[in-house]
Amino acid sequence: MNTKGFTERLNERINALSEGTPFVASDFSDITDAQTIRRLLKKQVDNGKLERIIPGVFFRPKMSNLLNEKIPADPNQVAEAIARSKGWKITPSGETALNRLGLSTQIPAIWTYITDGPYKKYEMDGAKLKFKHTTNKNLDGLSPLSRLVVQALSTLGKDRITQDIVLFLSDRFTKEEKINLIQETKRVTEWIREIIVQICK
């Protein structure tokens, strides 16, 4: 297949994404080699069709109809795109975990994630991303949701978890998600496990 064919396939895939969705070259590795994808993406950046959020992460900007200006990319989606490109597993931690679960409406000053990758920091559109390496074996074998719940509860701490929080999280998860939570978190810290059991009742 010639370069034009690659370009058409790449454009079809990018246009199928919602505006504002971050992506990386490896998301299109089934089309052609990484070097060619990066070259085609750079050409679209140069043409103004795409924007580079940080090195290696791109998006089609979404416009605000109300303000008539570009809406910055979602930091969490950018973090996930970085993780895909690096082959990392990541989980929101601290205030980021609370925000992701709806336990806090405050926008984190720094969007923080634990990862099996190295310690890294990034800046984008005024937002800061931080990846912290962890060797916490209690998180091994957990799904992304279970890891997120464990991190959020750990951030709150045992004494700050009220019955209202338990009920809020219970209403948030489906029956299937609760079954998975119960099955996957048997080895986590005892008090966190007790809270999860309450949430999943």
What pLDDT does residue 4 have? 63
DSSP letter at 189 equals -
What pLDDT, on a 0 to 100 scale, did the predictor assign at position 132? 95
- The pLDDT, as a whole number, for residue 1 is 47
Q: pTM for the complete prediction?
A: 0.88
Q: Please identify every stretch of the chain with a pLDDT value under 50, giving residue numbers as ranges.
A: 1
Contact 134, 154 (CB under 8 A): no
What pLDDT does 67 receive?
76
Structural domain spans, the chain? 3-69, 75-135, 137-201
pLDDT of the residue at 117: 92
Domain 3-69, CATH class in plain words? mainly alpha
CA 188, 191, 193, 195 torsion-angle sign: negative
Burial of 108 (0-12, 13-18, 19+ CB in 10 A): buried
Q: How far is CA 189 from CA 24, 171, 185, in A?
A: 36, 23, 9
Amino acid 88: pLDDT? 93
